[in-house]
Chain A
Amino acid sequence: MRLDFELLLPDAPGELAPVLRAVADHGGNIQSIMHLHERAEGDQVPVLFTVEMQESDTLKLLDTLTRSHRLLRVNHEGGPVGTTVLLSGHVFQARIDRLLDPLFDLGARVERIDARVAGRDKPSAVLVRLSADDKAAMGAAMDALRKRADKDGLTVMASVEESA
Chain B
Amino acid sequence: MNAAAEEGPADGSGPADSGGPVRVFLAGYGTVGKALHRILEDEADAIAAQAGRSIRLVGIARNDRFMVDPDGVPLKEVRNRDWATGTVMEALGAVDADLFLEATPTDLETGQPALGHCKAAFREGMPVVLANKGPLVAAYDELMERAEAAGVAVRFEATVAGCIPTLSAVRESFAGDTVERVEGIFNGTTNFILTRMAEEGSDLDQALREAQSLGYAEADPTADLEGHDAAAKVVILANAVLGRTITLDDVAVQGIRDVTRESVELAKAHGYHVKLIAEVDRQGTARVGPRLVKQGSPLDVRGALNAVHFRTRLAGEVTHVGPGAGGKETAAAMLGDLVGLVRSGN
A contacts, CB < 8 Å to B: 31-32, 34-39, 84-86, 88-89, 114-118, 123-127, 155, 157-161
Contact = CB atoms under 8 A, between A and B. Distances in A.
A47 B191 CA distance: 27
Given A114-B266, A127-B270, A38 B260 contact: no
Across the A-B interface, give the 6 residue pairs with the lowest CB-CB distance, nearest first: A116-B262, A125-B263, A125-B262, A88-B263, A159-B292, A155-B258
Contacts of B277: 160
B248 to A, nearest CB: 20
Contacts of B267: 86, 127, 157
Given A86-B274, A159-B294, A32 B260 contact: no
Nearest to B294: A161
Nearest to A123: B260
B270 A123 contact: no
Interface of B: 183, 254, 258-263, 265-267, 269-272, 274-275, 277, 289-297, 299, 316-317
Contact of B269 (A35, A114, A155): A114
A41 to B, nearest CB: 14
A118 B269 contact: no
14 contacts: A88-B263, A114-B266, A115-B266, A123-B258, A123-B262, A127-B267, A155-B259, A155-B290, A157-B259, A157-B263, A157-B289, A160-B183, A160-B299, A161-B293
Contact of B270 (A114, A124, A158): A114
Q: Dominant SS at the A interface?
A: strand
A86 B258 contact: no
Contact of B266 (A34, A37, A39, A127): A127
B272 A159 contact: yes
A124 B266 CA distance: 10
A84 B296 contact: no
> Which DSSP category, helix, strand, loop or mixed, fits chain B's interface?
mixed
B280 to A, nearest CB: 14
B265 A116 contact: yes
Nearest to A150: B254
Contacts of B269: 114
Contact of B292 (A117, A124, A160): A160
A88 B262 CA distance: 9
Contact of A88 (B259, B293, B294): B259
B266 A86 contact: yes
Contact of B296 (A36, A123, A158): A36
Contacts of A123: 258, 260, 262
B273 to A, nearest CB: 10
A72 to B, nearest CB: 13
Contacts of B258: 88-89, 123, 155
B326 to A, nearest CB: 25
A124 B291 CA distance: 17
Contact of A32 (B292, B293, B317): B317
A85 B254 CA distance: 16
Contacts of A160: 183, 275, 277, 291-294, 297, 299
A152 B295 CA distance: 29
Contacts of A34: 296-297
A35 B254 CA distance: 32
Given A125-B263, A126-B266, A155-B263, 14 more contacts: A38-B271, A84-B272, A84-B292, A85-B292, A86-B263, A86-B267, A86-B272, A114-B270, A123-B258, A127-B270, A158-B292, A160-B275, A160-B294, A160-B299
A158 B261 CA distance: 17
A125 B260 contact: yes
Most B CB contacts (10 A, CB to CB) among A85, A86, A123 go to A86
Given A86-B266, A114-B269, A127-B267, A31 B292 contact: no
